[in-house]
Every structure is written in structure tokens, then in C-alpha cells.
Amino acid sequence: MASILRSYGGFMTRRPFLGNIASAIVLFGAGDMLAQQAVEKKGWDKHDWARTGRTVTWGGAFYAPVATAWFQVLNKVPMTNKIKGTAIRVGLDQFVAAPIVLSCFYTVMTLLEGKSLAAAKDKVEKNIRPTLTTNWSIFIPVQAINQSIVPLQYRLVMVNVVNLFFNTYLSLQNAKGHDSEPAPQRKAELATMS
């Protein structure tokens, strides 16, 4: 186990971008699977693999690259006074980046479902407040620890581990009201096939 952790640590130091993408893919996928199996209790025969695929796509192709770059920006905030520097980093992360990233999450997920920009806008308006409130209750303390004591190359990994549970919440929020509901154009295709 120690050699695995050492290898992982070396990889994260040499290739933080790829390591963060790989971690996000695994943990975002696991979060959606947890939502579908442990919370929604769908069973593997009714598991929505397309939904898991969309979640993995969001985590690996959108979230991880943006968050990796963002954490590098946050790392440039001076820490001459640790409390003040941490507060600035956490404030920027939670009150500037989080609303943007979470709005992008709902937008991208809705578009990946084949729905319109108008549907994405509605999804953001419906979900952003409760999602941000939940996000802040979790990630303000997590980021305070993360930004003050965790080395840069491990910050996104730490967030992604906590994200396993937050991703479960996000997956459930995103699936509300349309679980397994096909996009309008897909409904029309299905109707013509029957």
C-alpha cells in the first residue's frame, strides 16, 4: 500500500494535470453510481449508464482541467499572513468560482442530455441556490484546510475525494424531475420507431 501511495504521489508531482483528470473521472463516476445505486436504489439492471457517462465527461473534460488551472491561480495569492491569505483564497474559490462552476455543471449536463439552452437556463435557475448553499456548507471548511496546509498538487485530489459525496448530491439534483426522461427530439425519434 505504501508503494502505491508513493507511486501516486510521484505521478501527481510529475503529471498533476493528468492525475487530476484521472482522479476526477473515477470520483465523478463513482459519485453518480453511488447516487443511482445507494440512494435511488435502481439496481444495476436499470442503471443509467449514459447519465454516468455524462457525469464522467463533465468531471474529466470540463471540471478537472478548469479546477487544476484555477487552483494554480489561487496558489498565487500571497500567504504572508496565513489566515488572511487562506480567507482570500477560500473567498475567491467559493464566492467567485463556485457559482460559475456549478452553473456550468447544470448547463453542460443539460446540453449533454440533448436539451436546449433554455432548458439549461431553467435548470440553473431552479438549482443554483440550494446547490450553492450545500456547496458552501461543505467546501468552505474543506477549502480552508486545503488552501492552508495541502500541497498544490494534491488540492484537487482532496476536493475530488470530498466531491465523491457532493457529486452524489449533484447527480441527484441534476436528475430531479426528469430521471430517464428522453430529450424532446429523442422522444420524437422514439415515437416514430414504435
Give pLDDT tens digits for 11-25. 888 888 898 899 899
Question: What pLDDT, on a 0 to 100 scale, did the predictor assign at position 177?
Answer: 63
Question: What pLDDT, on a 0 to 100 scale, did the predictor assign at position 101?
Answer: 98
pLDDT tens for residues 128-182? 999 999 999 999 999 999 999 998 888 888 888 898 899 899 999 999 865 444 4
Count of CA atoms in the C-beta half-sphere (13 A) of 154: 12
The Cα 180–Cα 194 span in angstroms is 18
Q: What is the pTM of this model?
A: 0.83
The Cα 29–Cα 162 span in angstroms is 14
Domain assignment present for residue 187? The answer is no
Domain assignment present for residue 188? The answer is no
Domain assignment present for residue 128? The answer is yes
Range of the domain at 172: 2-38+48-177
Output the CA–CA distances (angstroms, integers) from residue 47 to 38, 58, 165, 183, in the order listed. 11, 18, 18, 18
Domain assignment present for residue 194? The answer is no
What total number of domains does the chain contain? 1
The Cα 77–Cα 70 span in angstroms is 12
Domain assignment present for residue 43? The answer is no
